[in-house]
Structure 1
Amino acid sequence: MIDPFDTGSLRESILEAWSSSPTRLREDSASESDLVRGGYRDRLLTELAQNAADAAARAGVPGRLAVWTDGDGTVHVANTGAALDVSGVQALTALRASAKTAGDVGVGQFGVGFTAVRSVSDEVEVRSRQGGVVFSARRTLDALGRRGMSVPESGVPVLRLAWPVEVPPAAGFDTEILLTLRPEVDAESFASGFADEAVDLLLELEALDSIEIDGVVMTCIRTELDDTSTEVAIGARTWRQFTTPAARWLAPVVDGIPVPVHADVLRAPTRSDELLSLPALVIADVPMQPDRRRVLPGVSLNEVAHGYADFVASLPAASRVSFVPEVGFARSEVDGMLRDLIFGRLSCEPWLPGARGRDLVPERSNVVADAGEELVSVVVDVVPDLVTAALSGARHASALAAVGVHRIGLAGLAELLGGQHREPRWWQRLFDALAPLVVDGTAAEELAALPVPLADGRTVTGPRTTVIGSDASATVTWVRLVHPDAVSPLLTRLGAREATAFELLTDPALEAALDDLDWDDRDSVETLVHAVLALAGDAGELPGWLGGLPLEDEHGELRSADELLLPGAPLADLLVRDSPFGVLAPALVDRFGERALRAVGVGWGLSVVRDELPTGPDHDLDDEPAWWSSLSVEPDALVAVRDLDLVASDAWSEALTVLLDDPSTRAALTDRNGYTAWWLRRHARLHDRRPIEFRAPSDDTFAGLLDPLDHPRADELATVLSASECEDVDCARVLLRALADPERSPTPAVIARTHTLVATAVAEGRIEVSDIDPPDRVRTLGGIVVDASRALVIDKPWLASVVPPDVAVLSDMVTALALADVLDIRPASEGIGAEVLGVGRVSSWDREPGAVLACAVMGVPLPRGGLVIHRELVVRLTGAVSGEHSVPWWVTEDGTVHCTERWERPRGV
């Protein structure tokens, strides 16, 4: 048999060595056994694939590897590439040596790893284009027997002795290995298990283009993307590969996007036992122990990690941060070394997607926590080296922190924004973009120092001190008014106060600004006036102090608003000739409208003073102290028409109509107890008389005494300006003067009613008697006016029948004495003496049927006291009335009631 590799000489030298040194035989046996059981367990396909990749690389041809089984339990492993040669045979039989040369990076053909075949077979045949060899436990055992050598306890070293084979490899392949499986190894399951390893091997061994397992071909297609990046596709799976001088980094691609792995091992180039937690697969040229399971002690991994940042930078921007290793414990010593080196590289090299589109160095970069695209686009000029918005969320926070990115919260952002000078629209964009981040009170508090642009051009710190108005309030200067172009709902959530036109114009700050305004500074005056008038038209009723607003009159002079009248104002025709009012400049009316000007106090009709919490008569109203002192209780609010004292005396009829027509003055007028009605009752003049001297045409309470008010709206006015009762001393004086006027012709009922009303006011304390001068003349029940000295107030009901009507002054019996006090005339009981004549029948109320019947009919209880019944009752009177008088009943000083036999209950008993 042809022996191209001179295996006979190799066998002889090895057998000779074993014969001369039995220890060497035991060592070779033990070494092979250790490699099979330890270093190369479960690595059969890996080691054979490495041989195939090395052969393809040597030959410079596409590497193909095929595995199939025969029915007799033989496994075939064939590959393309360089054929078996002498050095390869020597390496196979040397056990501790390899045919790898300096150019064989990462693989070694037919080196120590070939020992892995012994894990499944004792009969191994290597067929190649230039010849083959076979390794056989049986033949080795025979050779030892012929030499008289005993077999070591660990068994014969099968891979030390080789015999020539002349059978060529399978068609299409350059080398074929046949493994006769031991009986305990199932050929079908053994070969099918290779399929799980095939994908990894195609990734790891670039020289291999395909692996076929029992007819199923897996092909690796590598597409170059650029100088360093390659797309690797194996079946339906794809990886993105980045190549550095010391390593290849691979990331699986899912739906076109590179995604991280969660756990793997170091591949050098095939899988080792060094556990890794890196997010990418790494295939590196790292010195390994002979079994290629562990890295040699003391090996530096710096070059391996050197290109990782470049690999991350080569990925799509959306995927990069996911390739920062997760913070946590390392899975192995090698993993810890690599992680530390990679974190260091990632921190100081540019790869992090920036908001401006360029890659940033993480340790010099900033990220605004949870910022959206809009917020990032707004603050990109404020925050240096700002990371893209896609990375601002919490899920990326740990990764960015691990590489030194500075994370800026809301408080930090507010601080960075301080001192910024931007257009109001920019601030509005900022506020709107910040709004989604303010989800609770803590977030709002962090933005407490957020700058806010004001309408006056300033920028202030903190929304809580600002006010939000309308477009019309853009020129407001007395409060911190947010510029209209910067208004955002966020400001309200952060404490800015939304203010209506009314709230702005009633703000104490405006009152203070008016007080401090320099009228000689025309620019300041114009600014404030225009700001106020721009709002006043929609503000409703405003406080009286706004009447101090300086406005130009028709002559160009500045005057307080409440000293001016609108052009054509009807009030101008009602005022006295020397009225202090001027006429407003028409240009202001054209610009701001009558409504705004009237709201700040410019006159049209009479204007109103308002004070929600008055503390005294300090409103510059005519005769105000007198009104204030007339009140029994201080008012809770003051609403009063001012300047009533400036109305001409002959213009009051028209003036009252104007007051009724204007809703604001009408409200003040119709409050009978208010200042306006009080003043008008006393000071206004209608037909040269005060309104209190008239009565409503529809009210007959004082008919014949007071004239009906002569005005188109008399009943409306009379309800507040005239009297239907005696409510105060002024009213009492008017009524008493009317009663004493002989030109008046009231009915007895009106006379009695009027006396009763006056007396009641005194009795109830509404009027002090000392405030009324007693009249010299009084009106009696008979309707005539007599000297007060002649009149008598009927204070006892039985006196009514003896006092003549032309002398009698009547009110009800309850107030008779009060009336006598007011009029300073005698009560009838004091001016008349009486004596009952004759003797009657003494009885009691309960004995008289007539008395009982009368009381029952009238629904009153029976009186108590003495009762004397006369057939005819006659009394003798002395004093103001004298003579004998026949009367129906009488009461003597001791309280005894005298009456006639014809029973009728005496009134008043």
Structure 2
Amino acid sequence: MLTELAQNAADAAARAGIPGAMRIWLDGTRLHVANTGAPLDQAGVQALSALRVSGKGTDGGPVVGRFGVGFTAVLSVSDEIELRSSTGSIVFSAERTRDELHAAGLDEPERGVPVLRLVWATDTAPAPGFDSEVVLALRPGVAGDELLRQLADDAPDLLLELPALTSIELADRTFTRSERPLADGLTELRVGVAPQAPLAREGEHTWWQYSTGPSARWAVPVIDGRVRPVSADVLRAPTRSDEELSLPAILIADAALQPDRRRLMPGAALEHLADGYAGFVAALPESQRLRLVPLPGFARGEVDAALREAVLRELTGNAWLPGADGRDLVPGSAVVLPGLTAELAELLLEVIPGLLGPGLSTEREAQALSAVGVHRIGLAHLAELLAGIHREPLWWGRLYAALEPLVVDSVAAEELAAIPVPLTDGRTVTGPRTVVLGHDLGGVGSGVDAHGVHWIRLVHPDAAHRLLGRLGAGSASALDVLADPALRSAIEDVDLDDPTAASELADPVLSLAAVAAAAGDLPGWLGQLPLPDADGTLRAADELLLPGAPLARVLAADSPFGTVSSALVERFGEAALRGVGVGWGFTVLRADLPTGPEQDLDDEDAWWSTLEEDPEVLLAVRDLDLVDSGAWPDALGLLAGEPATAALLSDRLGYTAWWLRRHACLGGVRLGAMRRADDRTFEGLLDVLEHPDAAALSGVVAADRVDGVEMAELLLDRLADPDRDPGPAVVARAHRLLAEATASGILDLDELSPPAAVRTLSGQLADPAEAVVLDRPWLAAAVPAELLVVGDLPSAAGLAELLDLPPASQAIRGEVLGAGRRVSAWDREPAAVLAHVALGLPLPEGTLVVHDRLTVRLSGAVRGDIDLPWWVDEDGRTHCTERGLLAGAEPAERPCPGAEPAERHAD
């Protein structure tokens, strides 16, 4: 009812061309509704009292269209309606109409008297300041307060629907309507209420409104600058009808309604109402446009279905979607990449035509985009679109970084399996699984020039990104790149007459070597890399020295080394050049899993023959054979001063120490014939190595044992050298070590010649034809020291074989003279028990013969009768004097080989 009165007020204001104002108040049981605008006229009275049809003016427009069928709504609350107007006032009254019928003798109709048929004039004027006023005498039971509350709820919508109205005053509060033009045809409409009252809605109501023509207006609520799509509403024509809509915006349209103004006339045209809706959406901020796209769902009726279809058709056929390039796009030509970021959008603008911006690429917007037919592309399709395009490696690196957040699982990674990857050689290949990332090669500004790497599929440093590793790219350090066998083949294929090709290969190799040299030893075959020398001639890197290299001072005059180009030194630095084999000091060659003497090292075959099995890694100092013979003191200092070479000096089994022992000389003496100052094993036989770096040269001097034929030959020669004066302990030790090496198989006696003279216990040299090797302890006192060769008893047989000397037990025979006192067991002899207690030894078993004086008749190599402290005869009996019991007691602990039985014989 109040909506119809507001419509009448709006019509009056529109007719008068003034802002419409309403005032509504309750006076007891009378409801007053006053408004400004065109006052009541004769045509209006006729319309109200005749056929309930609005009167028409001569111009065909409505005279007071507000006084039509809708006005009858007042009858729902009142039987007495007074219309007060500045042009005259009238009253409609059910009671007075009933009295008139009775006075005329007519019966009252079954449906009640027609209240709006008879009109009575009145002199009451409208409230001051208003042109018209409707006064309703409320029937008993009609709550006036509830009517006011209803109007308070409806006021904001009425001011939205009826633009001719600018204010509605209700008791102590006033609803006002204001408009402000915005850009692109939008109008901001605000409805405020002052003062705030319990019956009013909270806050200020704001809409953004857009007119699509004389027949339709669209509006959407706005809160804090953001549109809030409506979820359910009705068609407003212009006020609310019963036609339910599910559109996200309010539609206020000129539509043909049935007389009750609740439903559309059958067959009424609707599609034209959607014309211009795309303009409305395009006028909104880009981030909010999709909020006004009708989402898929069930229509609320035929009218809703028709309007939804028309709106979607309008949206799909016009440009309004904000593209990533800033232009509005028609949905059918637009594509969306889910998860698109601003950085990724910038990179893909020229790659994907019609790409929508990041704000529309979230999952929240997906349903709306699908509703208008936007094509959705995935990562696999993106990889296809990227195929064949040409961009700088830095662009690709930025692209991978921007794509990384989108690769959230293995499925996404698989979709990007065919993404292009730029290589250092200028090619762009398909798919990361066939390429290698150089993880320490850096990118822009790294100083590493890997651009010419062509022997492997190396990702360009500017494009290298961890995403490629997630997509299947391998990983390689600079050292790995330089160790690739394909590089070795490339080096071997370089034409030494083509300096351009050599430079194109050398540049990336040296650039990588600058990084890899600090990470580990580079392959030795990099020394074959052709580099220009000081004269510009191409030579292998390992045939060149750095300017001022200390190695040059120790090389022989005819060495084949040249000096590398100073321009290369300035460009790549000494570390890179040294890494590929250009000399400064001595160069260490590295070979992984070598299978034989194929490293072009001096005397390599001989060293290889000393190995029991091939080494996993061969590390060796090169070019030792090029050292000048008189420069070894300085050369050893160079070797000891560099950590890489110094480490090899202590590896006695390695090639470097082996070669130095065998070939390097100080003062005309091989290093292998010298000893450390603190090693007294062969004191008197070997000279001490006198050098400032002697502590670091432990592996290049003689060992403290016999470790091969060369050491054995050296000791045999020194033992037979009359100019040497070793002490008895050194002689015995040398003999023992020689014998143990023979027994253990270290020495092959076929490779050794017996010495011309042997060193005896006395320190004198003896003719091998006269000397014997002590192999039984009791013979020690029987043989003169100048004929007795001593090592130790357990290895005496090996020493005798090595020196080609007879053991003393075979060369000498003895017969005990005199019977002596026979003791059945050692524990029966007090002196024997005392001797063993003193020595802390267990008593031996066997027969003991005690002599006051023990005389033995010797024959063989030594002849004559001799008094001895003890003796063991051929039957294994021990003969001794009481003073000799201490010597005879030892067999139990150190039995002699050859004694029968062994446990009875002494050491």
| TM-score, with structure 1 as normaliser | 0.89
Q: Displacement of 1:883 after TM fit?
A: 1.8
Task: Describe the superposition over 1:727-776 as per-residue Cα deviations: whole angstroms up to 9, x where unpaired.
Answer: 11211111112222233222222221111110011122222333322223
Indicate the SS of the match to 1:528.
helix
Task: Describe the superposition over 1:499-525 as per-residue Cα deviations: whole angstroms up to 9, x where unpaired.
Answer: 554343334443232233333332221
Task: Determine if the alignment matches structure 1 residue 168 to structure 2 residue 129.
Answer: no
**Match in the other structure for 1:78:** 34
* Partner of residue 447 from structure 2, selected from 472, 476, 488: 472
Cα distance in 2, alignment partners of residues 298 and 318 from structure 1: 38
Q: Displacement of 1:395 after TM fit?
A: 1.9
Cα distance in 1, alignment partners of residues 307 and 621 from structure 2: 90
**Match in the other structure for 1:532:** 509
Task: Determine if the alignment matches structure 1 residue 892 to structure 2 residue 860.
Answer: no
Sort the Cα spacing of 1:749 and 1:79 in 2 relative to 1 into closer, same or farther, 3 A. Answer: closer
Sort the Cα spacing of 1:520 and 1:295 in 2 relative to 1 into closer, same or farther, 3 A. Answer: farther
Task: Describe the superposition over 1:347-386 as per-residue Cα deviations: whole angstroms up to 9, x where unpaired.
Answer: 1101122233222112211233222223222322222122
* Partner of residue 868 from structure 1, selected from 849, 873, 879: 849
**Match in the other structure for 1:16:** none
- Counterpart contact for 1:106–1:268, Cα < 8 Å: no
- Counterpart contact for 1:698–1:715, Cα < 8 Å: no
Q: Displacement of 1:848 after TM fit?
A: 1.9
Task: Describe the superposition over 1:228-274 as per-residue Cα deviations: whole angstroms up to 9, x where unpaired.
Answer: 54332222333222112321111223334444223221101111112
**Match in the other structure for 1:25:** none
Task: Describe the superposition over 1:564-598 as per-residue Cα deviations: whole angstroms up to 9, x where unpaired.
Answer: 23344343454445433333334433443433322
- Aligned ranges for residues 338-353 of structure 1 at < 5 Å? 338-353=307-322
Cα distance in 2, alignment partners of residues 708 and 109 from structure 1: 130
- Counterpart contact for 2:43–2:63, Cα < 8 Å: no
Q: Given residue 868 of structure 2, which amino acid in structure 1 is its aligned partner?
A: V
**Match in the other structure for 1:798:** 778
- Counterpart contact for 1:463–1:491, Cα < 8 Å: yes
- Counterpart contact for 1:837–1:876, Cα < 8 Å: yes
**Match in the other structure for 2:135:** 178
Q: Given residue 92 of structure 2, which amino acid in structure 1 is its aligned partner?
A: F
Cα distance in 1, alignment partners of residues 277 and 166 from structure 2: 26
Task: Describe the superposition over 1:314-369 as per-residue Cα deviations: whole angstroms up to 9, x where unpaired.
Answer: 22333222111233222333222211211111111011222332221122112332
Cα distance in 1, alignment partners of residues 160 and 694 from structure 2: 110
Task: Describe the superposition over 1:24-61 as per-residue Cα deviations: whole angstroms up to 9, x where unpaired.
Answer: xxxxxxxxxxxxxxxxxxxx011122222223333434
Task: Determine if the alignment matches structure 1 residue 505 to structure 2 residue 454.
Answer: no
Q: Displacement of 1:284 after TM fit?
A: 0.7
Indicate the SS of the match to 1:904.
helix
**Match in the other structure for 2:146:** 189
Q: Given residue 582 of structure 1, which amino acid in structure 2 is its aligned partner?
A: G
Say which is worse superposed, 878-887 or 605-614, in terms of deviation: 605-614
Q: Displacement of 1:716 after TM fit?
A: 4.4
* Partner of residue 581 from structure 2, selected from 601, 605, 630: 601
Cα distance in 2, alignment partners of residues 530 and 604 from structure 1: 20
**Match in the other structure for 1:36:** none
Cα distance in 1, alignment partners of residues 773 and 309 from structure 2: 120
Say which is worse superposed, 230-239 or 141-150, in terms of deviation: 141-150
Q: Given residue 473 of structure 1, which amino acid in structure 2 is its aligned partner?
A: V
Q: Displacement of 1:153 after TM fit?
A: 4.6
Sort the Cα spacing of 1:243 and 1:614 in 2 relative to 1 into closer, same or farther, 3 A. Answer: same
Cα distance in 1, alignment partners of residues 593 and 612 from structure 2: 17
- Aligned ranges for residues 13-162 of structure 1 at < 5 Å? 44-71=1-28, 73-94=29-50, 97-99=53-55, 108-162=65-119
Cα distance in 2, alignment partners of residues 446 and 78 from structure 1: 70
Q: Displacement of 1:486 after TM fit?
A: 4.3
Q: Displacement of 1:224 after TM fit?
A: 4.6
**Match in the other structure for 1:269:** 238
* Partner of residue 701 from structure 2, selected from 721, 725, 735: 721
**Match in the other structure for 1:544:** 524
- Counterpart contact for 1:259–1:319, Cα < 8 Å: no
Cα distance in 2, alignment partners of residues 51 and 734 from structure 1: 133
Say which is worse superposed, 517-526 or 268-277, in terms of deviation: 517-526
Sort the Cα spacing of 1:271 and 1:784 in 2 relative to 1 into closer, same or farther, 3 A. Answer: same
**Match in the other structure for 1:22:** none
Q: Displacement of 1:529 after TM fit?
A: 1.1
- Counterpart contact for 2:184–2:283, Cα < 8 Å: no
Indicate the SS of the match to 1:414.
helix
Cα distance in 2, alignment partners of residues 359 and 784 from structure 1: 113
| TM-score, with structure 2 as normaliser | 0.89
Task: Determine if the alignment matches structure 1 residue 779 to structure 2 residue 736.
Answer: no
Cα distance in 1, alignment partners of residues 503 and 323 from structure 2: 50
- Counterpart contact for 1:95–1:115, Cα < 8 Å: no
Say which is worse superposed, 430-439 or 657-666, in terms of deviation: 430-439
Indicate the SS of the match to 1:864.
coil
**Match in the other structure for 1:668:** 648
Aligned residues: 865
Task: Determine if the alignment matches structure 1 residue 210 to structure 2 residue 178.
Answer: no
Task: Determine if the alignment matches structure 1 residue 701 to structure 2 residue 677.
Answer: no
- Aligned ranges for residues 106-505 of structure 1 at < 5 Å? 108-214=65-171, 216-225=173-182, 228-235=185-192, 236-245=204-213, 246-463=215-432, 465-468=435-438, 469-470=441-442, 471-474=446-449, 475-478=451-454, 479-487=456-464, 490-491=467-468, 494=471, 500-505=477-482
**Match in the other structure for 1:11:** none
- Counterpart contact for 1:473–1:501, Cα < 8 Å: no
Sort the Cα spacing of 1:403 and 1:97 in 2 relative to 1 into closer, same or farther, 3 A. Answer: same
Sort the Cα spacing of 1:867 and 1:258 in 2 relative to 1 into closer, same or farther, 3 A. Answer: same
- Counterpart contact for 1:325–1:339, Cα < 8 Å: yes
Q: Displacement of 1:217 after TM fit?
A: 2.9
Indicate the SS of the match to 1:658.
helix
- Counterpart contact for 1:100–1:109, Cα < 8 Å: no
Say which is worse superposed, 556-565 or 254-263, in terms of deviation: 254-263
Indicate the SS of the match to 1:176.
strand
Cα distance in 2, alignment partners of residues 715 and 92 from structure 1: 128
Sort the Cα spacing of 1:773 and 1:234 in 2 relative to 1 into closer, same or farther, 3 A. Answer: same
- Provide structure 1 residue ranges, at least 5 long, that are not aligned to the other structure: 1-43
**Match in the other structure for 1:34:** none
Sort the Cα spacing of 1:106 and 1:96 in 2 relative to 1 into closer, same or farther, 3 A. Answer: closer
Sort the Cα spacing of 1:425 and 1:904 in 2 relative to 1 into closer, same or farther, 3 A. Answer: closer
Q: Displacement of 1:146 after TM fit?
A: 4.2
**Match in the other structure for 2:201:** none
Indicate the SS of the match to 2:265.
coil
Q: Displacement of 1:227 after TM fit?
A: 9.0
- Counterpart contact for 2:54–2:64, Cα < 8 Å: no
Q: Displacement of 1:105 after TM fit?
A: 8.1
Sort the Cα spacing of 1:588 and 1:377 in 2 relative to 1 into closer, same or farther, 3 A. Answer: closer
Cα distance in 1, alignment partners of residues 344 and 479 from structure 2: 35
RMSD: 2.7
Q: Given residue 240 of structure 1, which amino acid in structure 2 is its aligned partner?
A: W
**Match in the other structure for 2:728:** 748
Q: Given residue 794 of structure 1, which amino acid in structure 2 is its aligned partner?
A: L
Cα distance in 1, alignment partners of residues 332 and 46 from structure 2: 55
Q: Displacement of 1:558 after TM fit?
A: 1.4
Indicate the SS of the match to 1:534.
helix
- Counterpart contact for 2:54–2:63, Cα < 8 Å: no
Cα distance in 1, alignment partners of residues 285 and 692 from structure 2: 90
Q: Given residue 513 of structure 1, which amino acid in structure 2 is its aligned partner?
A: A
Q: Given residue 639 of structure 1, which amino acid in structure 2 is its aligned partner?
A: L
Q: Given residue 38 of structure 2, which amino acid in structure 1 is its aligned partner?
A: A
Task: Determine if the alignment matches structure 1 residue 881 to structure 2 residue 849.
Answer: no
Q: Displacement of 1:785 after TM fit?
A: 2.0
